[in-house]
A and B are shown apart, each in its own frame.
Chain A
Amino acid sequence: MLTAIITRDLKCVSHNLSSAIQPIGFFILITSLFPLAITPDTETLKIIAPGVIWISALLATLLALDTLFKEDFIDGTMDQMFIVAESLYVIALARIISHWLFSGLPLIVMSLIIAVMLHVPAHAIDALMVSLLLGTPTLSMVGSIGAALTVGLRYSGVLLTLITLPLYIPVLIFGASCISADLAGLPWTGQAYLMGAMLVLSITLAPFATAAALRINMS
């Protein structure tokens, strides 16, 4: 069932590539606004780069969250999946995984280009990769709870942002400081371990909360 839903999502995305690319375009656009607004100076960009990349990643993830369950919920697919799977947990987990595959993973690839554009030195790329690899799945997990809570609302974009962003703060802090520490030549494994811990915790708890939120809205 898990793989069936993910395969279906893959097909949906391949039929509608433009909407899947939108968050990535958003990510690139937001990051390129920062040099325009602050300064094109190389040294300054290097300092703000971790924060810029992480805030943009956060917002790009949020953008893709709004439709995470909504389309399936409105056209009744969710009910059909629930009848077949008999477990909202599996549906929630599958949708979270495909959300990460189609928004988190491309974002990580794109961040390599962004890092070069923001003059992040090559030795900090590994910290960037590790922090994004550990952090973006956590964002998808935690964000899915907000998406499930607001699934029944027609205009939920701002509300979703309001309830999800405070929960993203720990990921933002450790993600950005992981890269900053590496840029400053300091060890960054501590931050990476903490991000790993947050990922494990969110994998353990978030799908249950998401499933509970979906059940509340489906009844």
Chain B
Amino acid sequence: MISHYTESKNHTPTPGQARSSWVWFHRFGSSSYFYRFATLWGPRAGWCALVLMVIGIYMGLFVAPPDYQMGNSYRIIFIHVPSAWMSLSTYLLMAASAAIGLIWKMKVSFCVSRACAPIGAAFTFCALITGSLWGKPTWGTYWIWDARLTSELVLLFLYMGYMALDKAISDRNTASQATAVLSLVGLVNIPIIHYSVEWWNTLHQGSTVFRMDGPSIDARMLVPLLITTVAMNLYFISVLLNRVRCELLDLERRTQWVREVVNG
């Protein structure tokens, strides 16, 4: 019994050794550290997003050539495609941080997940609106029951369900855990919904960027598209960090560090 105890004790590494590579991550679990991080990087990301967006939109509207089939109407792609990409990746981040929150009981992680939902819903809405505006001149109609449009619409419903559940449960802790479970269930369902809808009906043009044989889109169109995508990501980071800051201040309003922040 005793020898077993000493043996296991010898094998136990000191806390510093074991955790050193994860220290940067564990720090984000601290609300005040995350708050300071967000205060520092949120505005910076926002300014970078603004500059890149102006450059990307300028290049998209004036430098990129008109499409041989769609003329100038395709130029909405520089908003439409990044917001569609962001609508999905925001859901991924929302579900991932919800999972981290459930597994390691991290408050900050729940705050990130919660802050993602309205932004993701806004991106989804933006993708749907720009898509239908683009659909009118090219397909001749604002809305078609096409696979991608429909799964984007379902994604909007998933975001709305998440936010509705979040609002309905008054206890903060229960709400964040319940919405976390819902977002994970949605994560399992998204591919199933996507492929079932795809199988059901397809009209949307195929992907022209992610292809095995390289992008089939002209480089002069691809570059502004990539710039606006990066800008959209930075914008997302900036808004997310700001929302998380508000969440954290609200969540920890009775603690010492919030008092220090508020009183200057």
Contacts and interface: CB of A to CB of B under 8 A. Distances in A.
B192 A149 contact: no
Contacts of A219: 174
A166 B197 contact: no
A167 B21 CA distance: 39
Given A152-B174, A213-B178, A217-B178, A170 B168 contact: no
Interface string A193-219: 010001001000100010011001101
Contacts of B192: 170, 198, 201
A120 to B, nearest CB: 21
A167 B168 contact: no
B41 interface: no
A173 B200 contact: yes
Contacts, number: 69
B193 A170 contact: yes
Give the size range of B's interface with the partner. Answer: 20 to 34
Interface stretch (B52-60, B121-129, B152-160, B207-215): B152-160
B193 A169 contact: yes
A31 B200 CA distance: 23
A170 B185 CA distance: 14
Interface string A149-171: 11011001001001101110110
Contacts of A149: 165, 178, 181-182
Contacts of A209: 181, 184-185
Interface in A105-157: 142, 145, 149-150, 152-153, 156
B185 A159 contact: no
B66 interface: no
Contact of B182 (A152, A163, A177, A198): A163
B181 A167 contact: no
A174 interface: yes
Contacts of A166: 154, 157-158, 161, 186, 189, 193
Nearest to A176: B200
Contacts of A198: 192
Contact of A169 (B182, B185, B196): B196
Contacts of B188: 205
A170 B186 CA distance: 12
A124 B108 CA distance: 54
Contacts of A162: 157, 160-161, 164
A5 to B, nearest CB: 22
B63 interface: no
A167 B189 contact: yes
Contact of A216 (B161, B181, B196, B197): B181
A153 B181 contact: no
Interface in B167-213: 168-169, 174, 177-178, 181-182, 184-186, 188-189, 192-193, 196-197, 199-200
Contacts of A142: 185
Contacts of B181: 145, 149, 209, 212-213, 216
Given A153-B169, A163-B161, A169-B196, 8 more contacts: A149-B178, A153-B168, A156-B168, A166-B158, A169-B193, A169-B197, A201-B192, A216-B181
14 contacts: A145-B182, A149-B178, A150-B165, A163-B162, A165-B157, A166-B157, A166-B186, A166-B189, A166-B193, A170-B189, A194-B196, A209-B185, A212-B181, A216-B174
Interface of A: 142, 145, 149-150, 152-153, 156, 159, 162-163, 165-167, 169-170, 173-174, 177, 194, 198, 201, 205, 209, 212-213, 216-217, 219
What are the nearest 9 A-B pairs in CB distance? A163-B161, A170-B196, A166-B157, A216-B177, A173-B196, A170-B192, A149-B178, A162-B161, A173-B200
